[in-house]
Amino acid sequence: MNREFNTVSLFGAPRCQLGESPRWSEGYWWWVDAAAGIVYWRQGSSVEDLEKTAIGSKEFNVRTSLVQPVGNSQLVMAIEKTLRRFQFDGSDLIEIGPSIDIPLPNNWLVNDGIADIAGNIWIGSVSPDRAPGTGTLLRITQDGEIQQALPRFSLTNGMAWDYQKNYLYHADSYERTVWRHHVNILTGSITQSEVFIQLPKDDGLPDGVSYDPSGMLWVAIYGKSVVRSYDMHGNFLYELAVPTEQVTSVALGGLTRSQLLITTAQEDFTEAQSREFPLAGQLFISES
C-alpha cells in the first residue's frame, strides 16, 4: 500500500545555499550544504524527537556534494573530486581514510551519488558546461578502482536503489529524465537501461530521488516547488507542495520510514526571487 504525505513543516535547520544529499542511517538524518562545504546531522526517530535534538555540523569550506552512510557509523563524502571516509563518534567526524581521488579534467565536478549494498560508490561526473552526453556515471569500488558504468549524461543527480529488483534510479536533470538501470550487484555491470520518467520541456528539472518500498519513487522537482511520487511503471501519483522553488532532493527515513526529508536551495537568486521565496535553502520534513 502506497503511503501518503500531505503537508511539510520546517525542519529547523540552518539555511543552505545548496541543500543536497539527505540520508537516513542509524538513527540520524544527514545532509550537506554542497556550495558552502558543510555536512550536517541530527538525531531523532520521530518529528517530535527531532524537535528536541541539536544539529551537529562539520565545515570543509570547499564543495561537498555527497554524504553517504555506509554502516558501522562510517560515512563516505565527496569533497571536491575526492572520496573521503569518516567515522562518526556521536559528536564529530574523524577521517579514517583512505581517500580516493577521481581523475577528472580541470573544472569538472562530481555531483550526487549513492553506495550500493556492497559499499561501492556510484557517482556522476559533470562537465563545466553541462553539455548533453558529456558526463559519466562512475562506479568506485572499495579498493579504489574507478569504473565507467555508463557514459552520455549531462547532470547526473539523485540516486536510489530498489534492491528487490536490482534497479538503480537516477536523474539526468538537464535532459529532464529519470533513468532506471538493471544492475548486476556482484559485478557492477548494467544489463539494461530505460527511461523511467521523461518530463516535458516546460516542466521543472528532476533532481534528487528516493525509492519507497511501498511501491513509489519520490522525485524532487527543481524549479516547480514540489516533490512528486510515481508508481513503479513511471506513472504520476501525486505531488507534495514545498514553499520554495528550488527543491533539490528528498529522502525517506525514520525508524519506520514514515518521514520524508526535503532539501532546497537559493542558487543565483535575484532580489525579487528572495522576496518571493523567503524560505529558499531551508529543509522541510513531512510525516505519513
pLDDT tens, the chain, 288 aa long: 577 899 999 999 999 999 999 999 999 999 999 999 999 999 987 777 787 889 999 999 999 999 999 999 999 999 999 999 999 999 999 999 889 999 999 999 999 999 999 999 999 999 998 888 899 999 999 899 999 999 999 999 999 999 999 999 999 999 999 999 999 999 999 999 999 999 999 999 999 999 999 999 999 999 999 999 999 999 999 999 999 999 999 999 998 889 999 999 999 988 898 899 999 999 999 998
Retrieve residue 53's grid coordinates.
Answer: 535534538
Distance between CA 19 and CA 265 in Å, rounded? 5
Give the domain ranges of the chain.
Answer: 9-287
Architecture per CATH, 9-287: 6 Propeller (2.120)
CA distances from 178 to 95, 137, 197 (A): 34, 13, 5
CA distances from 250 to 57, 87, 102, 217, 227 (A): 20, 24, 26, 10, 8
pLDDT of res. 1 = 59
Chain-centroid distance of CA 52 in Å reads: 25
Radius of gyration of the CA atoms of the chain, in A: 17
pLDDT of res. 82 = 98
pLDDT of res. 221 = 99
Distance between CA 147 and CA 65 in Å, rounded? 20
Range list of H helices, the chain: 47-50, 271-276
Distance between CA 94 and CA 97 in Å, rounded? 9
